[in-house]
Each structure stands twice: as C-alpha cells, then as structure tokens.
Structure 1
Amino acid sequence: MNNSDKILKKLTDSNLYSRYSGLLSLSNISLQLIDASGKILLEFNPSPDFCKLICQEDEGRICSDYTAKLESGSGGRFNCRYGLSNIILPVEINQQTIGYIVGAQVYVSDSEYQKYLIDIMSLAKGKNFEPEFIAKSIAAIKTVEENKIDIHEQICNHITQNISHDFSQSINSADKAIARLSIEKEMLEKKIIDLEAKNMSLVINPHFLFNTLNSIARIAYFEKSHTTEELIYCLSDLLRYNLKQDDELHTIGAEMDNIEKYLYIQKIRYKNRLEYEIDIPDQIKPHRIPNMIIQPIVENALIHGITPKRDGGKIKIYAEKYKNDINIYVMDNGNGFPKEVLQSIQQSENKMGIGFRSTDKRLKRYFGENYGLKIAKSDYSGSTVTITIPTKPNARR
C-alpha cells in the first residue's frame, strides 16, 4: 500500500459519514467512495441489491461497467448495460487521481422501461440465484426524476471536493485540525441550504431536528465541550439511521457503525460500568442484513444483562464466517435474562418476546428457515445471542 492509499484509508476511517451526514440526508440514492483500483472503501448510501449482489463479481468491488470507466479515465454520468444512470467523479490531488466518488444506480423516467428487458432467467442461471430473488431486486431499483439526479450529482461533487481538500491537508500534516473541520461543516451546511432552496421537495421534517442538533454541537465546540459535541453528532447520526424505515438490506458495516454510536452514548452515560468491544472482520462488513436487526439485541443485553449488575459489565459483538454462513454474536457478561423474561421471550408473551420473535421471522423471510436469531446461552455468567445469515441471500444451496 503506497502513501496515497494509506492516507485515503485513514480518511475513510475518520468518521467521514458523520461529517457529511447533513448532505447525505438530502438524498437516499447510492453513493460510495472507491480507491483508484475500484475497491469500495466506504458506502455512504448503499447500492441496490441488484447492483451489489448480481452485477458485481465481488461485493467489495464495483461492477465491470464502472471498471471500464476507470480504465478510460472518463468521469461524469453514464448509463450501464442495464440502463441505470450512474455517476463517477475522480478525487484528485496534485493532478493525480487517488479515488472516486461513485453512485446513483437508478432509473430515470425515460429509461425505466429497460428494467423490463433484463433477461432474468439468464442471470439466474449465470449467477446461481433464484429467479424470484433477481426479479425482486430489479423491481426494487429506484426510478427518480431528472432533477433529483442533478441534486445528487451536486452532493457527489461537494463530497469529492472536500475529500480532495482533506487529502491535501493530510499530506502536509498528520494532525487533524478540529477547527478546520468545524469550518468545513459550516460551509457544507450552507451548501445544504442552497440545495434545499433549489428542490424543496427533498426537505423533510426531521431535518429541523438534525440541523438543531448540529447547531448545538457547534456551540459545544466553541465552548470547548468536545465530549458534548461528539455526543450530539453521534445522537444525530443515530436518529437519522433509525429513521431509515425502508425494507432494503444494509451492510453489516453500516449496522455496526450505528451500533458503535449507540454504545458510545451509553458509555458516556454508564461510565466505568460499561465496556464494549466490536470485532467484525473486514471481509464480513460488505455482506448485507435487514436494518435495525442487531441494535435491539445489544439494547436488551445492556438493559437485562449489564444494568442490573452492580459493577456493570462488558458487551462484545463479533462475527465469523463458517462455510456459506455468517454468524454474528452479541455477548455480555451480565446476570443473564431473568427466568421470567427468558420464558416470555420463548413464548412471545410480552413486547420483548414479540420483538425477538418478529426479528427472527424477519430474518427467515429474507434468508429462509435455516437462518434467524437464537439465544445460545443465558445464565448467571451472561448471555449470548446469535444471528445467522447466508453469505449469498436467496442463493441455491
């Protein structure tokens, strides 16, 4: 890995999503950061399942249509072989391209008819997926108005320019300047106001809450209350993620980012009574899971395992791949579920039991009867809840 790749990786790990969350809230169209070779470094907004699971040979790399654009050095908009509108913009520093912002992957009204021309049976045979899964993935591809693509391209441009600026600053200095980041946030918020003025149809009520939280965070920064500032940004991101009530699969990496923000907030609240560890291998993070599956399990571990224990305890989340399955474990060393609570979970007699049962059913609906949620252990030494999903959703087994 050369110096440029190291700095780009460091920028990717520096909470980029949180810093651009205000802009990202204006659009739910896919947007990703890739390196110069086409490896996906960060999904700001996830790709459609059709693109991620069917078009891409590897879930961690962009499809061949994008790769051809990288090789030719061309950017801007283009239509892929299936008629989807795409955007590719180079991230440049000193006239050298070190990565790209890519995204869109939607139909516009004039090209929507092309989704009905896709040969589903041929794809099913070549990709080893059930035809029903491919048909469902195609049907889920968004069709948007042309002006929303224009707005999304502006968002891509702003993020591209600011990442280039960050990269340039990182070359000259290893330290991150907090003051510069706050000024950058203010500049981006002004851009948001401009974009909202151009297309008011994209503005939703929660924006008021998020903008208010960000304003409070800026006040906390100027008052040098950096912990308060970080808490507010985490809460803002947590609320925004939890408002995504769509029925799409999200990456395990995105779910874990959300859970880490939740646990960070709880750590400030419980102080030394709560420790946590998240250990998810990089090769597992691009795999997909229904959103808001893991957080309620973590919340239950905190409420029923850690909180009743006088000295608190630790929550550990880790994952492993075994053959064609992925197992995600949520462990705590608390007191375990009380006997009556554990019984009610198994019998679905209260809201908590219903929650576990509905989560299990939701996983089975996506992945089949062999997958779902299981309470592997719950006793005086703690609890372990296991989530099992396939590496390839709805693939023939």
Structure 2
Amino acid sequence: MVSLTIPGEREALLTPTMDAPGKVHVQIRGLSKRYVGQTQEALKGIDLQVKRGEIFGIIGRSGAGKSTLIRCLNRLENPTQGTVVIDGIDLSRLTDRELVAWRRRTGMIFQHFNLLSAKTVRENIELPLKVAGVPAAQRRQKVDELLALVGLEERQHAWPAQLSGGQKQRVGIARALVHDPELLLCDEATSALDPETTRSILTLLKKINQQRHITIVLITHEMDVVHDLCHQVAVIDQGEILERGPVWQVYSDPQQETTRQLLNPQFAALPEALQPLLTPTRQQPDSRLLVRLRYNGQGAQPDLAAISARVPGALTLIYSAVEWVERKPTGQLLLLLDAHHDAAQVYDLLTDSADQLEVTGYVTES
C-alpha cells in the first residue's frame, strides 16, 4: 500500500508545538504492553498527562513496569495497545528515519551512564553532534556551554575510568542536552550513586528544569528522588497506575497500601516499644491518651507551642516525621497527653491543629 501525504504534512508532524508552560506535553492513552511468550501484561491501560515544564516522577518497586513505560515513551519498545503523543506527535505514526530525528530532540539519561571508555569527557559529549553532522565550530561552542552547565570544565580531557560516579552521570546529562531537547527522560538516573552525589545530581536536574524549562520524566524506586525533585508523581505497581497527583498530596495522604509502604512506611506504624502498652480504653487513672496529628498540606501547621497551649498539662512528643514538600508541611506527630484528658475533649481542643486527628488509644506505663 502506498501512503500519500500532503506537501509539508510530515514537516509539520515533526515540528514541536511551542505551547506555553502548563500545556500538555506528553499524553499517554490506554497504553498496554505484553511481551511475546508472557501471559501477564507488563503495562495495563496506562493513562497519564505530563504538562510542559514540569518534573514528573514515576515511582514503583522493581518489576512494577517503570522501565517498560519509559521505553515506550521513546519507542524503544512498541506498545501492544494505546498511544503516546508528545508535542502533538503520535509516535506510532513515525517512520524509522523520522523516529531517529525525533529522538535527537529527546534527551535520555541512563542508570549506568553508557559512556565510551576510549573517548574523553569532551569527546563523549561531542559525539552526538558529530553523528548529526554539526560543524566543528558549533560543536566546540555547544560542548563548552554544557561543560560549564554540569561543572566539568576542569575534567573535560579526563577518561571515564578517571571519573567518579557523579561525574560520569554529569557527562551523561550533558550529552543528553546537546540537541537542546524539550523533553528529558531519566531512567533510574541516581540509583547507582551514593546519597550525597544523588543530591548534587538532583540539584543539577532542578537547575536545568528551571533555567531551560525542559520537561523531565523520570522513573525511580527512590522515595527521596520524588520528594526532592518532582512536581507530580504517579505510583505504578504490576503494570498499573495506582494513584497520581502533586507530590505533596500523594506523599502526605497516600490512598493505596502499596503507596503508603513505598512513599511513607511510617504512615500507620507505632514505635515498637509503645505497642504493648497501648489499649483502646483507659486502664488506670494515670493512663495517658496517645494522639496522632497528620499534616497533608491543607493548611494546618505543626506548631507544638500552640498545641501545648490548647491542651494544658504534661505533653510528650513520642514521634515526629514532618517534612516540607513544595512549601507544605507533610507528615505526622505522635503525642502523649496528660492523664486527665479524654478522647472527646481532645477532638474539641485539637481539631484545628492538624489536617487529620486520630485518637490512637491509652498508654499505661508499667
């Protein structure tokens, strides 16, 4: 069958739409993937939207389908069903040659760096420009710019074997930016790095997003990566999206048990030493009420001074896990109140002191 196109149609198909920030950049509809010989689907009906200029995290355990999903985003894998539309371009409509051209405008950062050991830092960054036929003078200018961006000017003539893991990943990031992409895909970009190096790479990615307004989609199994970097997050498990939303919202008020275990393992746990002392009713006159105050960014503030003023008497902080995500307090406090307080009274006193208030029980010290 011969396919005829109107003159200019393919050029329009491959030209990105320069929408303003906030417009949909990546649209995934009904995406499913089943590998040959497998009875279970690796992906099941994925629907996601990523807006232009945001950092979107996809988090899940090993084997959840994260890598398959990101490989479908650059068509290293062809989905069994569904569509991936990026910048208005349906990737399934592209020929192999058009797909190569499209990929040059889409940066990819890998977990294991994928540097050529026989080429220096500078040569690794320059290579995609050489392959694309960019003139030497333009290559030098672009590589100099990227070396400065990732902080490797002094290491530009070093070999990969002479670099730390963080430096290797910086080379990978610079290489991913050589064609000025509007979309950056990150496949477990920090999982091979130590915590301190991870923080420096996340800071660099945030800087790139802010300065260059690049949309970033990353997959990870690391809670801290999502917490520190992303604007939006989707939780994937067994090939399905369990929940999605702003990071502060999903992190502070997870709706699914898998999400609670993945993002906030202490969501419902009590300190182990406290559990045998806890009863649902008061056992002794000196039994003290244990309350849990949750904060999920809805406006309440974890102000211990204000709480102490509202509930006079002894106040013991048992556990605190409150963090600020996108300038919103998220987490919880466990407080042991004075023995003369009861549950009904505390609900009246502390309703406005937390986004969610839970009376856990009474603690009788042995």
TM-score by length of 1: 0.27
Which of 1 and 2 has higher RCO (CA within 8 Å, sep 6+)?
2
The structure in which a higher percent of residues are strand is: 2
The structure in which a higher percent of residues are helix is: 1
**Which has the higher Rg, Structure 1 or Structure 2?**
2
